[in-house]
Amino acid sequence: MLITSFIWAFSFGLIKKYLGGLDAGFVALVRLAISFLLFLPLLRPRKISVVMTLRLFFIGMIQFGLMYVFYIQAFHFLAAHQVALFTIFTPLFVTAVDDLWEKRFRPLYFWTALLAVAGTAMIVYSGWGKTDLLVGFALVQASNLCFALGQVFYRRVIPADREWRDREVFAWLYIGGTAAAALSMLLFSGSLALKLNSSQVLVLLYLGLLASGLGFFLWNVGATRVAAGILAVFNNVKVPLAVLVSLLFFGEQTDLIRLLLGGTVILLALALNYLHGKNRSLSSQNHA
């Protein structure tokens, strides 16, 4: 999940600089189609039931397809670092969805996720009241909710004892995501006259092969192996990384001191979740 966070940190600046003027549905469709082609040779459709196939398809529609349409559209209204900063609410969505699934409330996970949100909020942010900012904020929150739903659903519907590996079925998620992006284009984009330059093609390949392809696979597999609280905090690790990348590589402005302070708080939240999870594991072994 940490490796994925570094891969994703570059996506914000690349999308804003090279793809910000393109249709969101088109960008989502292309990058997800590339990811699907990457995993297609590994697909083993006969290893899972029709019910599981449909579950994976609909998870992909939500976590990948709808999420990307909202996310990429936000770049029409926000700078790259603002999009990254507004993802600070993803951990709250993750813990809330997971608690709703279990019909319970876990205070520690909530407060550590909130600590991560507070840490990221320390990193530069200003400009409330501007229409573009509010629209962009709403789009990012819709994206955050879709991403949180997909992560929790994937953790919950994938059986621990199974005869197949994640990579053998992951293409189904990309099929679902591609279908959702195509539907978005059909309903909202109308006729498109697109002419991509070489830089845009290379960025789409990076996003499709690494950010969406390898990145989502590593992320969802990792999500099945960690506690919900750690998953929630890792959703925010990419935020200071993305802001730092925007500052160093894409020329955007930010407050370095606040970045360091916020990053420290996020790491603290991650450490608290890790220690709590480790203590719970040791306790369970002692009681066994």
- For the segment 71-123, what is each residue's pLDDT rounded down to a tens digit? 999 999 988 888 887 887 777 787 788 888 888 877 777 787 778 777 767 76
Question: With 0-12 CB in 10 A as exposed, 13-18 as middle and 19+ as buried, what is 126?
Answer: exposed
Q: Is the pLDDT of residue 280 over 70?
A: no
Which tokens hold the place of 282?
A: 């040791």
How confident is the model at residue 227, as a pLDDT?
72
pTM, rounded to two decimals: 0.80
Structure tokens at 258: 């606040």
Q: What is the pLDDT of residue 276?
A: 62
- For residues 208 and 64, what is the distance between their CA atoms, to the nearest angstrom? 12
Q: How many CB atoms lie within 10 A of CB 97?
A: 19
Q: Tell me the mean pLDDT in the region 187-204.
A: 81
pLDDT, average across residues 264-268: 78
Residue 53 sits in which domain range? 2-287
18-23: average pLDDT = 87
Q: What share of the chain is helix, strand, coil (3-state, %, to 5)?
A: 80, 0, 20
Computed over every residue of the chain, the mean pLDDT equals 81
Instruction: Name, in order, each residue with C-beta under 8 angstroms of 97's C-beta and a sequence gap of 6 or more.
Output: 148, 149, 152
- Judged against a pLDDT cut of 80, whether residue 285 lies above it is answered with no
Flag whether pLDDT at 56 surpasses 50: yes
Name the pLDDT band for 283 (thresholds 50, 70, 90): very low
Distances (CA, A) of 90 to 29, 84, 142, 200, 239: 23, 11, 10, 28, 11
Q: What is the pLDDT of residue 174?
A: 92
Q: Token digits for 158? A: 């994938």
Looking at residue 236, its pLDDT comes to: 67
User: What's the sign of the alpha-carbon dihedral 210, 211, 212, 218?
Assistant: positive
* Euclidean distance between CA atoms 83 and 75, whole angstroms: 7
Per-residue confidence band for 245, with pLDDT thresholds at 50, 70 and 90:
confident
Distance CA 196, CA 275 (A): 48
Helix (H, G, I), strand (E, B) or coil at 193: coil
pLDDT value for 221: 77
**pLDDT, position 126:** 55
Q: Cα separation of 266 and 275, whole Å? A: 14
pLDDT at 45 over 70: yes
Query: What DSSP character marks residue 42?
Result: G
| Alpha helices, H only, 40-123 | 50-60, 67-74, 80-86, 90-102, 107-121
Locus of tokens 């006259």? 193
Whole-number pLDDT of residue 192: 62
What is the pLDDT at residue 178? Answer: 95
Q: What is the pLDDT of residue 281?
A: 43
Cα separation, 182 vs 129, in Å, equals: 33
pLDDT score of 215: 85
- Between 188 and 51, the more confident residue is 51
Instruction: Render pLDDT for 139-152 as a digit per residue (tens, 0 to 9).
Output: 998 999 998 899 88
Q: How confident is the model at residue 53 (pLDDT cuts 50, 70, 90)?
A: very high
Number of domains forming the structure of the chain: 1
Tell me if 89 sits within 8 A of 117, measured CB to CB: yes
| Nearest residue to 122 via CA among 78, 85, 164, 172 | 85
Q: What is the CA radius of gyration of the chain?
A: 19
- Token pair, residue 200, equals 């845009």
Query: Does an H or E element contain 277, and which?
Result: helix 256-287
